[in-house]
Amino acid sequence: MKTTEQRIAELEARVAELEKAAEQTTADNNNPLCVCCKDKPGDYELHATDWICDDCAQYMNDAGNELDT
Ligand SMILES: [Zn+2]
């Protein structure tokens, strides 16, 4: 049976982990430039070295939908 103090300590450790992960996610936007516009850092990884930004992904998605119809 865990004491309340132990549970709080565990939760605090978990919060610290999540905060660290969130910081890394933000810092991570040193992603390689988008292969499409070569202007913005990529948000999505297409292949090991090819990244695409949100805008281009959206554009490609729209274009893809048109091709499908
Ligand atoms: Zn782009």
Query: For the segment 35-52, what is each residue's pLDDT rounded down to a tens digit?
Result: 999 999 999 998 888 999
Looking at the predicted structure, is the pLDDT value of residue 12 above 70?
A: yes
Ligand 1 geometric centre to CA of 35 (Å): 7
Q: Is 43 left (phi over 0), alpha (psi -120 to 50) or beta?
A: alpha
* pLDDT for res 11: 95
pLDDT at residue 7 above 80?
yes
How would residue 22 be classed by pLDDT, with cut points 50, 70 and 90? confident
Give the Å distance between the CA of 22 and the centre of ligand 1.
Answer: 23
Question: How many angstroms is it from 40 CA to the middle of ligand 1?
Answer: 6
In angstroms, what CA-CA distances link 48 with 3, 33, 45? 46, 13, 7
35 shares a domain with 13? no
Average pLDDT on 23-37 reads: 78
Query: What average pLDDT does this structure show over 56-62?
Result: 90
Distance between Cα 68 and ligand 1 center (Å): 22
Cβ-based burial of 43 (10 A; exposed 0-12, middle 13-18, buried ≥19): middle
51 and 36 together in one domain: yes
Evaluate whether 37 touches 55 at the Cβ level (below 8 Å). Answer: yes
Indicate if 26 and 41 belong to the same structural domain.
no
Please state the domain count of the chain: 2
3 lies in which domain range? 1-30
